[in-house]
Each structure stands twice: as C-alpha cells, then as structure tokens.
Copies of this chain bind each other. A is one copy, B any other.
Amino acid sequence: MERIPILKMGPLLLVTIQVDMHDRLAMTLQDDLTERIVKDRARGVLIDISTLDIVDSFIGRMISNTAAMARVLDAHTVLVGMQPAVAITLVELGLTLHGVQTALNVEKGVQLLQRQIE
C-alpha cells in the first residue's frame, strides 16, 4: 500500500510529501504520524512540501488538521520548503494554513522546533 515515509531525527519526525495527495493517502499519513508521535515520543514534526507545485484547499486542510492532531499530542509542526509560487497561490486563494508554522527549509525548521521544545 502506498504510504508516505516518516523519518525520525532525534526528537523530531520528518515527512516529505512528494506524491499527489488523495483522501486515503492523507488519512493513512495522519494515522501513521499520530502513531509515530506517540511511539517515538516526538516533540516536533517537519512537513516538507518542496516538490509540490500546487497546494489546494484539500492539502491545506490536511496539513492544518495534521498539525492540530500533533498539537494535542504535544508536538509542534513546521511546514518547510514551500515554493514561491505556492505561497502566492495560497494568499491569492485566501487559503490560510491555520495553526501551522512555516520555515524556509528543513534546517531552519529544525532550528525553530529546537527552540520550541527546549
């Protein structure tokens, strides 16, 4: 079954989204991620979307929901690697990534999370 890998890096988990999201894959990701947060006692989640050319309302909501789930499990979420065109589209469409922090890239995201989980 298709699934998105979740990589552990110390107290953080890294998710790299590089395939088209659909309902079932999004649900599998949320299941896997919440399970891994608990199992690995993760304190932060990095979601990399550097290969996504488009972030529509479905993906936006999926990311918001994932961040909200992580939050109730005491983990912070940072979205990294957003392409300039995606940022433009998000604002033009009026989509807000509610409750999601962003950082330029994985390195900056790790720094941001490390400050928050200290």
Q: Beyond A16-B18, A19-B19, is A5–B51 a contact (Cβ under 8 Å)?
A: yes
* CB atoms of A8 and B106 under 8 A apart: yes
Interface size on A, residues (CB 8 A): 19
Q: Which residues of B contact A51 (CB under 8 A)?
A: 3-5
The complex places the Cα of A27 from the Cα of B8 at a distance, in Å, of 28
Q: Which residues of B contact A19 (CB under 8 A)?
A: 18-19
| Interface of chain A residues 27 through 68 with chain B (CB within 8 A) | 48, 50-51
- How many copies of this chain? 2
Q: Which of B5, B8, B81, B105 contacts A18 (CB 8 A)?
A: B5
Q: Which residues of B contact A107 (CB under 8 A)?
A: 8-10
Q: Which residues of B contact A87 (CB under 8 A)?
A: none
The complex places the Cα of A106 from the Cα of B9 at a distance, in Å, of 7
Taking the complex as formed, is A110 at the interface, i.e. its CB lies under 8 A from any CB of chain B? yes
Q: Which of B3, B10, B48 contacts A5 (CB 8 A)?
A: B48
* Chain A interface (Cβ < 8 Å from any Cβ of B): 3-5, 7-10, 14, 16, 18-19, 48, 50-51, 81, 105-107, 110
